[in-house]
Amino acid sequence: QVQLVESGGGLVRAGGSLSLSCAASGPTFSSYYMGWFRRAPGKEREFVAAINRGGDGVSYADSVKDRFTISRDNIKNTVYLQMNSLQSEDTAAYYCAAKTQAPNYGLVSAYDFWGLGTQVTVSS
């Protein structure tokens, strides 16, 4: 089992940047596929980005492609989400998630473990 703790959220102006981190506990971080999701007020949780175990395969939602970058450090047991050119529509609680199986990167139900989230607010 893995425990996930997100950090790095905050308030930023439109056009600005934020970097989120997700620290994982446990000795087997490199065996998990990792994802970032977000939930805006009044909306369902949605996929943002995912990365495979080795860090050489990534996937993004169309809404964040070319603005967000997911990466991981298997030595530090941490996954990152660099967010650039932030827009008001990016305002949401951001969640880190981990799963043991490869398919269905974009499905909430495919992930086994979740963090508690970190709030990102983009002011226009």
pLDDT digits (tens, 9 = 90+) for 91-106: 999 999 999 988 899 9
**Would you say residue 90 has pLDDT above 90?**
yes
Compute the mean pLDDT over every residue in the chain, rounded to the nearest whole number: 96
For the segment 107-114, the average pLDDT, to the nearest whole number, is 95
Residue 27 pLDDT class (50, 70, 90 cuts): confident
DSSP per residue over 7-62, as a string?
E--EEEETT--EEEEEEE-STTGGGSEEEEEEE-TTS--EEEEEE-TTSS-EEE-T
Helix (H/G/I), strand (E/B), else coil: 66: coil
Question: Partners of 113 in the beta sheet?
Answer: 98
For the segment 50-71, the average pLDDT, to the nearest whole number, is 97
pLDDT at 26 (0 to 100)? 79
